[in-house]
Amino acid sequence: MSAAPPPTILYRLFDAGGTLLYVGITGSIGQRWEQHVASKHWWDEVTRTEIERFPDRDAAATAEKAAIENEHPRHNFVSRPRVKSPQTGINYAYSAGEHRAWKAAAALKGQSFKEWIRRALNEAAAENQEKKAAS
Protein backbone atom coordinates (compact mmCIF):
# COMPACT_ATOMS: atom_id res chain seq x y z
CA MET A 1 0.00 0.00 0.00
CA SER A 2 1.52 3.33 -1.06
CA ALA A 3 1.54 6.32 1.22
CA ALA A 4 -0.67 9.29 0.43
CA PRO A 5 1.20 12.24 -1.07
CA PRO A 6 2.10 14.93 1.45
CA PRO A 7 -0.29 17.90 1.60
CA THR A 8 0.74 21.06 -0.22
CA ILE A 9 0.15 24.60 1.02
CA LEU A 10 -0.96 27.45 -1.20
CA TYR A 11 -0.02 30.79 0.34
CA ARG A 12 -0.86 34.40 -0.44
CA LEU A 13 1.36 37.25 0.80
CA PHE A 14 -0.05 40.75 1.29
CA ASP A 15 1.35 44.17 2.17
CA ALA A 16 -0.02 46.52 4.84
CA GLY A 17 -2.48 48.06 2.37
CA GLY A 18 -3.94 44.68 1.47
CA THR A 19 -2.26 44.46 -1.93
CA LEU A 20 -1.60 40.87 -2.97
CA LEU A 21 2.14 40.60 -3.45
CA TYR A 22 2.69 36.94 -4.23
CA VAL A 23 0.97 33.56 -4.51
CA GLY A 24 2.93 30.34 -4.18
CA ILE A 25 2.81 26.68 -3.21
CA THR A 26 5.09 24.60 -1.03
CA GLY A 27 5.33 21.38 0.89
CA SER A 28 7.47 23.10 3.56
CA ILE A 29 6.31 26.56 4.53
CA GLY A 30 9.25 27.29 6.86
CA GLN A 31 11.82 26.41 4.23
CA ARG A 32 9.96 28.44 1.60
CA TRP A 33 9.87 31.50 3.87
CA GLU A 34 13.64 31.22 4.34
CA GLN A 35 14.09 31.12 0.55
CA HIS A 36 11.91 34.21 0.11
CA VAL A 37 13.74 36.10 2.87
CA ALA A 38 17.04 35.36 1.13
CA SER A 39 15.98 36.11 -2.43
CA LYS A 40 12.96 38.43 -2.67
CA HIS A 41 13.62 42.17 -2.58
CA TRP A 42 9.97 42.74 -1.66
CA TRP A 43 9.88 40.38 1.35
CA ASP A 44 10.00 43.28 3.86
CA GLU A 45 6.67 44.50 2.47
CA VAL A 46 4.86 41.33 3.62
CA THR A 47 2.62 41.95 6.64
CA ARG A 48 -0.07 39.29 6.24
CA THR A 49 -0.31 35.75 4.90
CA GLU A 50 -3.20 33.49 3.99
CA ILE A 51 -2.70 29.73 3.81
CA GLU A 52 -4.83 26.99 2.22
CA ARG A 53 -4.04 23.29 2.44
CA PHE A 54 -4.48 20.96 -0.54
CA PRO A 55 -4.33 17.16 -0.56
CA ASP A 56 -1.53 17.07 -3.15
CA ARG A 57 0.77 19.23 -5.27
CA ASP A 58 -1.34 18.93 -8.44
CA ALA A 59 -4.43 20.33 -6.72
CA ALA A 60 -2.38 23.16 -5.19
CA ALA A 61 -0.71 23.96 -8.54
CA THR A 62 -4.11 24.22 -10.23
CA ALA A 63 -5.33 26.60 -7.52
CA GLU A 64 -2.08 28.60 -7.69
CA LYS A 65 -2.38 29.08 -11.45
CA ALA A 66 -6.00 30.22 -11.12
CA ALA A 67 -5.10 32.62 -8.29
CA ILE A 68 -2.26 34.20 -10.27
CA GLU A 69 -4.38 34.59 -13.39
CA ASN A 70 -7.43 35.97 -11.54
CA GLU A 71 -5.93 37.90 -8.62
CA HIS A 72 -2.86 39.45 -10.35
CA PRO A 73 -0.28 39.38 -7.55
CA ARG A 74 2.34 42.08 -7.99
CA HIS A 75 5.43 39.84 -7.95
CA ASN A 76 4.37 36.58 -9.62
CA PHE A 77 5.74 35.69 -13.02
CA VAL A 78 4.41 32.15 -13.32
CA SER A 79 1.57 32.02 -15.85
CA ARG A 80 2.30 35.54 -17.01
CA PRO A 81 2.75 36.29 -20.67
CA ARG A 82 6.33 36.15 -21.88
CA VAL A 83 8.13 37.64 -24.83
CA LYS A 84 11.52 36.55 -26.14
CA SER A 85 14.08 39.22 -26.92
CA PRO A 86 15.41 38.70 -30.44
CA GLN A 87 18.73 40.24 -29.38
CA THR A 88 19.43 38.26 -26.23
CA GLY A 89 17.14 35.25 -26.54
CA ILE A 90 15.99 35.92 -22.97
CA ASN A 91 12.32 35.43 -22.12
CA TYR A 92 10.88 38.41 -20.25
CA ALA A 93 7.77 38.00 -18.09
CA TYR A 94 5.50 40.98 -17.68
CA SER A 95 2.42 41.86 -15.69
CA ALA A 96 -1.17 42.11 -16.86
CA GLY A 97 -1.01 45.89 -16.31
CA GLU A 98 2.11 46.20 -18.45
CA HIS A 99 0.47 44.06 -21.12
CA ARG A 100 -2.57 46.37 -21.27
CA ALA A 101 -0.41 49.50 -21.39
CA TRP A 102 1.89 48.09 -24.06
CA LYS A 103 -1.05 46.88 -26.13
CA ALA A 104 -2.54 50.39 -26.01
CA ALA A 105 0.83 51.90 -27.01
CA ALA A 106 1.08 49.50 -29.94
CA ALA A 107 -2.42 50.39 -31.09
CA LEU A 108 -1.56 54.09 -30.98
CA LYS A 109 1.40 53.40 -33.26
CA GLY A 110 -0.72 51.24 -35.57
CA GLN A 111 1.34 48.14 -34.79
CA SER A 112 0.46 44.69 -33.53
CA PHE A 113 1.48 44.04 -29.95
CA LYS A 114 4.06 41.52 -31.11
CA GLU A 115 5.63 44.02 -33.54
CA TRP A 116 5.65 46.77 -30.94
CA ILE A 117 7.21 44.70 -28.15
CA ARG A 118 9.91 43.29 -30.44
CA ARG A 119 10.79 46.80 -31.62
CA ALA A 120 10.92 48.03 -28.02
CA LEU A 121 13.17 45.14 -26.98
CA ASN A 122 15.44 45.72 -29.98
CA GLU A 123 15.74 49.40 -29.10
CA ALA A 124 16.53 48.58 -25.46
CA ALA A 125 19.16 46.02 -26.51
CA ALA A 126 20.76 48.52 -28.91
CA GLU A 127 20.81 51.17 -26.19
CA ASN A 128 22.49 48.73 -23.78
CA GLN A 129 25.10 47.88 -26.42
CA GLU A 130 25.83 51.58 -26.94
CA LYS A 131 26.25 52.09 -23.20
CA LYS A 132 28.64 49.13 -22.97
CA ALA A 133 30.65 50.39 -25.94
CA ALA A 134 30.91 53.88 -24.43
CA SER A 135 32.20 52.61 -21.07
Q: How far apart are CA 70 and CA 59, in angstroms?
A: 17
Rg (CA), the chain: 19
HSE-up (13 A, CA, CB side) for residue 51: 11
What is the pTM (predicted TM-score) of this model? 0.58
**In angstroms, what CA-CA distances link 92 with 46, 86, 111?**
25, 11, 20
Question: Who's near 131: CB < 8 A, 6+ residues apart?
Answer: none
Determine the pLDDT at residue 1.
Answer: 59
pLDDT in tens, 10-49: 999 999 999 999 999 999 988 998 988 888 888 999 999 9
Categorize the per-residue pLDDT at 79 as very low, low, confident or very high, splitting at 50, 70 and 90. Answer: low
Residue 14: strand pairing partners: 20, 48
Q: Give Cα 46 to chain centroid, integer Å.
A: 16
**In angstroms, what CA-CA distances link 38 with 34, 43, 44, 45?**
6, 9, 11, 14
Question: Who's near 134: CB < 8 A, 6+ residues apart?
Answer: none
Determine the pLDDT at residue 15.
Answer: 94
